[in-house]
Amino acid sequence: MSILIEDYIPVVKFNGLNTEKAILSSSATAGIGYTTGAGGAVTQITTITTGVTVNGMSGQITTVASTLAAQAAVEFVVTNTSVSATDVIAVSTTYAGAGSPVVSVAQVGSGTFSIVIFNATTATTALNALLVINFAVIKVATA
């Protein structure tokens, strides 16, 4: 069974997409996301707690190499003018070193959010490499 996109999304030619219907993707390789120009990338300098600035609805943060001990956590601030206090920030990481880093978002404010890195290993293994953290901003309506 095929479903035409017109059944779900009205054609809007200004100010992006505006719909009261579902946005669906049935593709095995193309999902719903942001396109080139919506994101940014930044490399952290100095220490694992140094804040970064990266503006956009999505992006990638490359940290400095971390030596975070097992069962320890650190936090750094991301400044991003696209973020509102009610937004949801989704994060994931790519890591190729020792230890087991887990990334999460601790707090979100207007123009800012904080990322927490936790080394979840139960051994005495410290982190020993940089992390690449991907993020996406999901806009939330409260009314």
Alpha-carbon distance of 120 to 105, in angstroms, equals 16
Confidence at 17, pLDDT banded by 50, 70, 90: low
Confidence at 96, pLDDT banded by 50, 70, 90: very high
Q: Which domains does the chain have, with CATH numbers?
A: 35-138 (2.60.40)
Pick from 1-15, 75-89, 97-111: least confident: 1-15
Q: Which of 18, 61, 24 is nearest to 39 (CA)?
A: 61
Place of tokens 């999304």: 9
Confidence at 141, pLDDT banded by 50, 70, 90: confident
pLDDT in tens, 109-131: 999 999 999 999 988 999 999 99
pLDDT in tens, 21-36: 667 777 788 777 888 8
With a CB cutoff of 8 Å and minimum separation 6, the contacts of 115 are 61, 75, 76, 78, 91, 103, 104, 105, 106, 133, 135
The 3-state DSSP class for residue 6 equals helix
pLDDT in tens, 56-76: 999 999 999 999 999 999 999
More confident residue, 4 or 86: 86
Pick from 25-34, 42-51, 88-97: least confident: 25-34
